[in-house]
Amino acid sequence: MSDDRRLLSDKPIPRRDRLIFALDVPGPEHALRLVDALGDSVHFYKLGLELFMAGGYFALLDDLVDRGKRVFVDLKFFDVPETVGAAVRRLRDRRATFATVHGNDAMLAAACREKGDLKLLAVTALTSLDRGDLRDLGFSVSVEELVLSRAKRALAHGCDGVISSGLEARALRASLGSRFLVVSPGIRPVENRSDDDQKRVMTVREAFLAGADYIVVGRPIRDAAEPRAAALAIQDTIAELFPDTDPA
């Protein structure tokens, strides 16, 4: 990909917040040890299903917010509309910044009615799925067509943005503009390994040049010999791409 910066996000996002670390670890104690080790190299954390099932999820969320961190609740709310709306209503005062929702129009609308100041991100297509996986699930369209369709519906119902691979971010920007958030997981600072379950991936630079506002990085930081150094290297790339953005 060329270094074409026309799609770089111009939203007033502190550049240190553009990196979201996926805190996918077995439990809260492990999570806090890693947060301590990362220090000021990471300011935004994603809390997913593994931590939710371990117990202590909301105590951890509160602890992170009390430390001045931002939190992304990635539980992918998907249920009958009334239940989805009730779940978002319970979450909206927990001081999280983002939460994920999934599902049909009625589910998305119910979630958006209850969100308050919480920003809702609609899941489009998981980065662990490729065209063959989607075909096996009964989808006859391409990944890009599915992502665009789901994004249009989500934004029409009031979602603040979408979760999308950087591979589809460029098409999202071309079709839907720049006013909504694109949060891109599946980020790999180096070439993807053959045993990696993330199939649709991009580098940090590629994702931002394609129009992502935030990136989500997990294993390349968590499994690094020096996680803090790995996070700082990503922050250096972000600072180079967004030199004029307030770092604080």
Burial 47-59 (b: 16+ CB within 10 A, else e): bbeebeebeebee
Among 69, 76, 119, 152, the active-site one is: 76
d(CA 27, CA 51): 6
Q: For residue 29, what is the enclosing H or E element?
A: helix 28-38
DSSP β-ladder status, 70-77 and 161-163: unpaired
Token duo for residue 50: 């593994």
Reading the chain (248 residues) residue by residue, the pLDDT tens digits are 457 899 999 999 999 999 999 999 999 999 999 999 999 999 999 999 999 999 999 999 999 999 999 999 999 999 999 999 999 999 999 999 999 998 899 999 999 999 999 999 999 865 555 555 556 656 555 666 777 888 999 999 999 999 988 888 898 999 999 999 999 998 876 544 444 444 446 899 999 999 999 999 999 999 999 999 999 999 999 999 999 777 66
Q: What is the pLDDT of residue 128?
A: 53
Taken as a whole, the chain contains a residue count of 248
The contacts of residue 96 (CB under 8 Å, 6+ apart) are 61, 65, 71, 72, 73, 118
Report all structural domains of the chain as residue ranges with CATH numbers, in order of start. 15-241 (3.20.20.70)
The beta strands (E) that lie in the chain are given as: 19-22, 44-47, 70-77, 98-101, 119-123, 161-163, 181-184, 214-217
Q: What is the pLDDT of residue 241?
A: 96
Q: What is the pLDDT of residue 131?
A: 55
Q: What is the pLDDT of residue 194?
A: 47
Q: What is the pLDDT of residue 188?
A: 72
Token duo for residue 54: 């371990």
The contacts of residue 127 (CB under 8 Å, 6+ apart) are 165, 185, 186, 198, 199, 200, 201
DSSP state of 15: G
Rg (CA), the chain: 17
Selection from 48, 47, 49, 44 nearest residue 20 by Cα: 44
Active site residue 76: yes
Contact of 161 with 115, CB cutoff 8 Å: no
